[in-house]
């Protein structure tokens, strides 16, 4: 058995990663406290319920499965909440990750794939980001993730822990077979909220800020298809197992879309109108986050082939309309 420990495997991205790992011949072992995940999304390998802050439980799971690598997704990820309750982010994301890193080192599991974020870059002048862009996060979510990146570098120097760090931002779309998909409660992400507004699950979408320095005044983000994203993570495990060493990769498409452009695309794909109103800015939001992925393409052989806006919205819409959404 070639086990990979997947923290957050019951969540949106983690469950898609488990499916991709299984397809690549690994056994994904999900470690998740179900604070935002769903047990019925754990379909592709064993489930171990546990909290990253519980070190004895982590030690037990490492001893039981002896994973060849860790894929670490478990984290809180709401920018707005991280501004109102930063302690929750520093405790769960940063302290939780420290526990996990120490447990991995103690167990001799020295391959670590980490889900980081372009939010670590913060506000930059209208540039397409690359891995060498300066990291100056403007919200506690991004800061909590940057600190974990720093830890990984330190534990490489001290313990030989090798990491592949993926920095990405707006993940969208879903599994081809709609076996799993995006399901957050509360939902805060743009595309599922637009789909909720379209089919009347909520009254209207509120656009957070229309006075940004962008062509239409709304924020610009780079959207990556979740299946492309998790493919990169499997390539990351193989990279580490081939002893290629620690490396950071941005995962983006190099193209950004404004909130209004995403709404227009959703209207087009679904053939419906998007009820919306305009509200104030949300704390912690950057004007524009767009990330190229030249390094991932050249060095990992990654291709974000499914990451067109129409495809991501169509996949999300299919999942949205399936019975799964109503559980
Ligand atoms: N957004 C919005 N209304 C909403 C939710 C999000 O206008 O109800 C905007 C948000 O301000 C940001 C973009 O949509 O500019 C993407 O936000 P999301 O929460 O999906 O992801 P984030 O970029 O925060 O990771």
List pLDDT tens digits, range 130-141.
Answer: 899 999 999 999
CB neighbour list of residue 264: distance below 8 Å, 6 or more residues apart: none
Give the dihedral sign, CA 91/95/97/103: negative
Which residue matches tokens 């489930």?
Answer: 47
The pLDDT-based confidence of 173 (bands split at 50, 70, 90) is: very high
Other residues' Cβ atoms within 10 Å of the Cβ of residue 172: 24
Residue 325 pLDDT more than 60?
Answer: no
Return the CATH number of the domain spanning residue range 190-221+254-326.
3.90.25.10
Residue 35 has pLDDT above 60, yes or no: yes
Task: Report the C-alpha gap between 269 and 265 in whole angstroms.
Answer: 6
Q: Which residues line ligand 1 (CB under 6 A)?
A: 79, 169-170, 188-190, 193, 205-208, 219, 221, 259, 282, 285
Q: Residue 83: which H helix or E strand, with range?
A: helix 79-84
Which atom of ligand 1 approaches the CA of 282 most closely? 11
CA 75 to chain centre: 9
| pLDDT, mean of residues 33-57 | 97
- Per the model's pLDDT, the better-predicted residue between 327 and 175 turns out to be 175
**For 54-75, what is the mean pLDDT?**
98
Dump the DSSP string for 130-170: -TTS--B-SSHHHHHHHHHHHHHHHHHHHH--EEEEEEE-E
pLDDT at 88: 97
* Residues 3-172+224-250, CATH architecture: 3-Layer(aba) Sandwich (3.40)
Q: From atom 4 of ligand 1, which residue's Cα is the shortest distance away? A: 190
Amino acid 129: pLDDT: 85
- Counting ligand 1 atoms within 8 A of each CB, the residue from 78, 129, 259, 276 with the most, and so the one to mutate, is 259
What residue's CA is closest to ligand 1, atom 19? 189
Share of the chain above pLDDT 90, in %: 87
**Cβ 168 vs Cβ 118: under 8 Å:** yes
Based on the residue annotation, tell me whether 65 is a catalytic residue of this protein: no
Strands (E), the chain: 3-7, 27-32, 47-49, 69-72, 111-117, 162-168, 170-172, 205-208, 220-221, 223-225, 247-250, 257-258, 276-279, 288-289
Lowest mean pLDDT among 62-66, 154-158, 181-185: 181-185
Q: Indicate whether 29 pLDDT > 60.
A: yes
Average the pLDDT over 202-217 and give the result: 96
Q: How would you classify the pairing of strands 170-172 and 69-72?
A: unpaired
> Residue 257: helix, strand or coil by DSSP?
strand
Q: What is the ipTM of this complex?
A: 0.95
The C-alpha angle 194, 200, 201, rounded to 5 degrees, equals 80
Structural contact between residues 86 and 283, judged by C-beta atoms closer than 8 angstroms: no
Write down the domain spans for the chain. 3-172+224-250, 190-221+254-326
Residue 327 scores a pLDDT above 60: no
In this model, does residue 226 exceed pLDDT 60?
yes
Cα 125 to ligand 1 centroid, rounded to whole Å: 19
Question: Can you give the pLDDT at residue 261?
Answer: 98
The residue among 203, 218, 215, 194 whose CA lies nearest residue 279 is 218
| Confidence tier at 82 by pLDDT (50, 70, 90) | very high
């Amino acid at each position: 058995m070639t086990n990979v420990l997947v923290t957050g495997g019951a969540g949106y991205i983690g469950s898609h990663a488990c499916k991709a790992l299984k397809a690549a011949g690994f056994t994904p072992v999900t470690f998740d406290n179900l604070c935002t995940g769903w047990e019925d999304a754990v379909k592709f390998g064993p489930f171990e319920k546990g909290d990253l802050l519980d070190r004895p439980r982590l030690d037990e799971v490492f001893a039981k499965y002896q994973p060849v690598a860790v894929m670490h997704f478990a984290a809180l990820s709401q920018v707005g909440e991280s501004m109102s309750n930063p302690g929750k982010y520093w405790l769960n994301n940063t302290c939780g990750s420290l526990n996990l890193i120490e447990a991995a080192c103690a167990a001799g599991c020295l391959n670590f794939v980490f889900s980081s974020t372009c939010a670590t870059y913060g506000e930059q002048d209208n540039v397409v980001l690359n891995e060498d862009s300066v990291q100056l996060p403007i919200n506690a979510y991004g800061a909590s993730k940057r600190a974990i990146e720093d830890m990984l570098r330190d534990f490489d120097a001290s313990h030989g822990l090798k990491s592949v760090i993926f920095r990405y931002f707006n993940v969208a779309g879903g599994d081809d077979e709609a076996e799993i998909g995006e399901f957050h409660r509360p939902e805060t992400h743009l595309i599922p909220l637009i789909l909720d507004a379209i089919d009347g699950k909520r009254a209207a979408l509120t656009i957070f800020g229309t006075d940004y320095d962008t062509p239409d005044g709304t924020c610009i983000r780079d959207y990556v298809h979740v299946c492309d994203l998790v493919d990169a993570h499997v390539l990351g495990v193989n990279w580490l197992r081939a002893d290629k060493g620690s490396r950071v990769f941005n995962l983006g498409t190099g193209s950004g879309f404004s909130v209004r452009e995403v709404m227009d695309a959703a209207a087009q794909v679904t053939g419906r109108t998007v009820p919306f109103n305009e509200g104030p800015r949300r704390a912690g939001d950057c004007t524009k986050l767009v990330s190229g992925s030249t390094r991932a393409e050249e060095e990992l052989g990654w291709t974000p082939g499914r990451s067109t806006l129409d495809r991501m919205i169509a996949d999300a819409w299919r999942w949205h309309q399936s019975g799964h959404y109503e559980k």
